[in-house]
């Protein structure tokens, strides 16, 4: 069973190397490598863009966005000036695309973002925005292949519909056997414990509204 430290990105004991600096739990590594082989046979270069991310990295992302040091996008993938927003709206704008430190699925070692480098045009930079995976986008072929085959390898996409919480993320895959366990184990109490002695921007508002934040932005019922 995953420990609180594993659930909140404060441990790496549960991880194995996928490739380079990319790490996942061993079962997820094996499943993804099998899926890579199947994608390769279909002519697709399936690769990880992001895998495990620890608490401190997620904290830096969150705090930088809260303070306007990193771009924050609206639902149309356009930058917004978060410094003009009250704390509540600022937090919700960030939560659309970025998880709270301690609550990122990337802490678990079950989740990863994927793309196909060979489909990215020369001179273009990976954005991880929905249009890249939609019809006419660079990775539409990959998107179609994953929709048809990812469940065969135990993967699903947790962010398939915008229901007023997290934006649609067609690049984000979860390895179901591990992710469902982590979803069940992560609680508001564990999350708050991970913030102890940490400087989480907007913490007062976040703590006051954590039950609704869990419902809208953290607990997901992704489709297989």
pLDDT over 90 at 50, yes or no: yes
pLDDT the model gives residue 165:
76
Instruction: Tell me whether strands 16-19 and 22-24 are parallel, antiparallel or unpaired.
Output: antiparallel
Q: What is the pLDDT of residues 113-131, one digit of tens each?
A: 999 999 999 999 999 999 9
What distance in Å separates the CA atoms of residue 176 and residue 150, rounded to the nearest whole number?
Answer: 11
What's the pTM value of the predicted model, to 2 decimals?
Answer: 0.93
Q: 4-214, what's its fold?
A: Muramoyl-pentapeptide Carboxypeptidase; domain 2 (3.30.1380)
pLDDT the model gives residue 222:
45
SS3 of the chain? CCCHHHHCCCCCCCCEEEECCEEECHHHHHHHHHHHHHHHHCCCCCEEEECCCCHHHHHHHHHHHHCCCCCEECCCCCEECHHHCCHHHHHHHHHCCCCCCCCCHHHCCCEEEEECHHHCCCCCCCCCCHHHHCCCCCCHHHHHHHHHHHHHHCEEECCCCCCCCCCCCCCEEEEHHHHHHHHHHCCHHHHHHHCCCCCCCCHHHHHHCHHHHHHHHHCCCCEC
Q: Which two tokens stand for residue 222?
A: 């992704």
pLDDT the model gives residue 166:
84
Q: Which two tokens stand for residue 217?
A: 């932005």
- Long-range contacts of residues 131-134, Cβ cutoff 8 Å, at least 24 apart: 131/77, 132/171, 133/170, 133/171, 134/170
What distance in Å separates the CA atoms of residue 138 and residue 115, rounded to the nearest whole number?
Answer: 9
Q: What is the pLDDT of residues 200-221, one digit of tens each?
A: 999 999 999 999 999 888 875 5
Domain boundaries, given as residue ranges, for the chain: 4-214
Q: What is the pLDDT of residues 165-203, one digit of tens each?
A: 788 899 999 999 999 999 999 999 999 999 999 999 999
What distance in Å separates the CA atoms of residue 170 and residue 222, rounded to the nearest whole number?
Answer: 11
pLDDT the model gives residue 220:
59
Average pLDDT across the chain, whole number? 94
Q: Out of 26-30, 110-114, 133-137, 160-164, which region has the weakest mean confidence (pLDDT)?
A: 160-164
b/e sequence 137-160, b meaning 16+ C-beta within 10 Å: bbbbebbebbeeebeebbbbbbbb
pLDDT the model gives residue 15:
98
Q: Phi first, then psi: what are they for 73, rounded to 5°?
A: -105, 150
């Amino acid at each position: 069973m995953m420990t609180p430290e594993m659930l909140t990105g404060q441990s790496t004991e549960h991880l194995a190397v996928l490739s380079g600096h990319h790490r996942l739990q061993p079962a997820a590594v094996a499943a993804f490598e099998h899926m890579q082989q199947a994608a390769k046979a279909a002519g697709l270069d399936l690769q990880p863009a992001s895998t495990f991310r620890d608490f401190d990295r997620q904290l830096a992302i969150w705090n930088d966005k809260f303070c306007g040091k990193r771009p924050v996008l609206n639902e149309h993938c356009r930058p917004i000036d978060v410094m003009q927003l009250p704390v509540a709206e600022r937090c919700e704008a960030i939560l659309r695309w970025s998880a709270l430190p301690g609550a990122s699925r990337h802490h678990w070692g079950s989740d990863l973002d994927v793309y196909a480098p060979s489909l990215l045009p020369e001179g273009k930079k990976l954005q991880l925005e929905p249009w890249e995976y939609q019809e006419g986008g660079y990775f539409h072929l990959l998107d179609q292949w994953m929709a048809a085959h990812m469940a065969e390898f135990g993967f699903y996409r947790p962010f398939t519909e915008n229901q007023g919480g997290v934006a649609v993320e067609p690049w984000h895959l979860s390895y179901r056997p591990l992710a469902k366990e982590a979803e069940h184990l992560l609680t508001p109490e564990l999350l708050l414990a991970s913030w102890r002695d940490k400087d989480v921007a907007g913490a007062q508002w976040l703590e006051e509204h954590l039950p609704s934040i869990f419902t809208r932005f953290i607990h997901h019922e992704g489709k297989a």
